[in-house]
C-alpha cells in the first residue's frame, strides 16, 4: 500500500491522522501551506512542507480540512484523479450493508452509517454521528459530531450539519446550506439556506431577501 499524506495539519487533520493510524495506514507526513509548521512534528507526524509537494510524492492523499468550501478549493487545486484520494474509516465505525462511501471521505470514531446509504467524495462524517438507512450525502458535506439523521434523508453538496443537529426522515436539504448546532430540521431546506432552532427555521438564504 502506498503511504498516506494528510493535507492539513490542524485540528481536523490530527483527528484524521489518528483514524488513519487506527485503520492501518502508513502515514508519510502532513502537508500544510502554513510555513511555520514546516519541519515540525504534529501528532507524531512530520509536516513535510506545502501542498505543492503533492506532485512530487508517490502516495495517496486525503484533504483533512474541516471547512467545506476550503476543502473543495484544495481538491480542485490538486487536480488529481479521484482514485488518488484515500477513504479513511475509523475501525470503531459501524457500516451497514450496501453502503457506498466515496474517495477522500473521512469517517471518524463511533460513527454509524446504516444500510443503503450513499456517501459522496471528500465528505466528513464526524465523531459519533449517525446516518440512517437510504440517506444520500453528496460531495464535500460535513456531518459534525453528534448529528443524527432519519431514514431517506438527502443532503446536498457542501452542506454543513452543525454539532448535535437532527434531521427527521424524508427531508431534503439543498446544497451549501448550514444547519446550526442543535437544530431540528422538520421541513425541506433550500440551497444556500441557514437554519437554526427547534423546530428549525430558515433565517437567511444567500442572495435572497427574506
Residues with a known catalytic role: 133
Confirm if 198 and 178 have CB atoms less than 8 A apart.
no
CA–CA dist 177, 77 (Å, integer): 23
Determine the 3-state secondary structure of 119 from DSSP: strand
- Residue 61: CB partners within 8 Å, gap ≥ 6? 4, 5, 6, 7, 54, 78, 80, 84, 85, 86, 104
CA 2 to mean position of chain CA atoms: 22
Q: How far apart are CA 164 and CA 107, in angstroms?
A: 17
Amino acid at each position: 500500500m502506498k503511504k498516506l499524506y494528510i493535507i492539513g495539519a490542524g485540528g481536523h487533520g490530527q483527528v484524521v491522522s489518528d483514524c488513519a493510524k487506527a485503520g492501518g495506514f502508513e502515514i508519510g507526513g502532513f502537508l500544510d501551506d502554513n510555513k511555520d509548521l514546516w519541519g515540525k512534528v504534529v501528532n507524531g507526524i512530520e509536516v513535510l512542507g506545502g501542498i505543492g509537494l503533492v506532485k512530487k510524492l508517490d502516495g495517496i492523499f486525503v484533504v483533512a480540512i474541516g471547512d467545506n468550501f476550503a476543502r473543495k478549493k484544495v481538491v480542485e487545486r490538486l487536480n488529481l484523479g479521484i482514485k488518488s484520494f484515500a477513504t479513511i474509516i475509523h475501525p470503531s465505525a459501524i457500516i451497514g450493508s450496501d453502503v457506498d462511501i466515496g474517495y477522500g471521505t473521512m469517517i471518524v470514531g463511533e460513527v454509524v452509517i446504516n444500510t443503503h446509504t450513499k456517501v459522496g467524495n471528500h465528505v466528513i462524517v464526524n465523531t459519533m454521528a449517525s446516518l440512517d438507512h437510504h440517506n444520500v450525502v453528496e460531495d464535500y458535506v460535513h456531518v459534525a459530531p453528534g448529528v443524527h439523521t432519519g431514514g431517506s434523508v438527502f443532503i446536498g453538496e457542501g452542506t454543513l450539519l452543525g454539532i448535535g443537529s437532527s434531521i427527521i426522515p424524508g427531508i431534503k436539504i439543498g446544497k451549501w446550506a448550514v444547519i446550526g448546532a442543535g437544530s431540528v430540521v422538520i421541513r425541506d431546506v433550500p440551497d444556500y439556506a441557514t437554519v437554526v432552532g427547534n423546530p428549525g427555521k430558515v433565517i437567511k438564504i444567500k442572495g435572497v431577501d427574506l
